[in-house]
Amino acid sequence: MKCNWCEDGGLLERYHDTEWGIPCHSDKMLFEYLMLECMSAGLSWMLMLRKRDIFKTCFADFDYKKVAAFTEEDVNKAMAYPGMIKSRRKIEAVISNAQNFINIQQEFGSFDSYIWAFTEGKTMIYQRHLDGEWLTRNDLSDNVAADLKKRGFKFLGSTLIYSYLQSIGVINDHDPGCSMFIKIGGVIV
């Protein structure tokens, strides 16, 4: 059995089965997921998955060091790229976020160390989720979003951060009957 939101036999189902909620500890992937969330502000996640290859092209395969050094010329190239989301503010936010991502790495040794420290390295399962309540934000996402904002990150409020924490496995929000829920596990709080 799988989460019912993903049973499309296509892109969503592949994402669910191979990425969503599986604990991620690669800074490159943590940056990619964070920037997909940034680009998704006001848009659907399915659109992000469909445009993922375009984002990879426009953002140097999500190499945060390269993105952090982007110039106005790079912004203009991204804006002109066919199929790219035409939001200069989001593109500039991705560049600024890459710079801030590197600052966190320098302070904590890795972004992985920083983000997982919020839960002491544990995947969280919220009792409210087990009781059938679907959250879009909580105290954890509020705290992470506030800290990222303080560090200069943009387009990453609490709701997008909650989604991010789900995607990287900090929060296990798979349906309790989904095989991935049991495979990933976590601490019930």
Catalytically annotated residue among 20, 37, 162, 164? 37
pLDDT digits (tens, 9 = 90+) for 59-96: 999 999 999 999 999 999 999 999 999 999 999 999 99
Catalytically annotated residue among 15, 33, 116, 162? 15
pLDDT digits (tens, 9 = 90+) for 108-140: 999 999 999 999 999 999 999 999 888 899 999
Predicted local confidence at residue 133, as pLDDT: 86
Q: Is 45 a catalytic residue?
A: yes
Instruction: Compute the distance between CA of residue 83 and CA of residue 81 in angstroms, rounded to an integer.
Output: 6
Confirm whether pTM is higher than 0.85.
yes
pLDDT digits (tens, 9 = 90+) for 13-71: 999 999 999 999 999 999 999 999 999 999 999 999 999 999 999 999 999 999 999 99
Q: Is 5 a catalytic residue?
A: no
So where are the chain's domains? 25-188
Catalytically annotated residue among 13, 19, 45, 92? 45
Residue that is written with structure tokens 């936010």 in the block: 93
Query: Residue 54 in 3-state DSSP?
Result: helix
Architecture of the domain whose range is 25-188? Orthogonal Bundle (1.10)
Burial 50-81 (b: 16+ CB within 10 A, else e): ebbebbeebbbebebeebbebeeebbeebeee
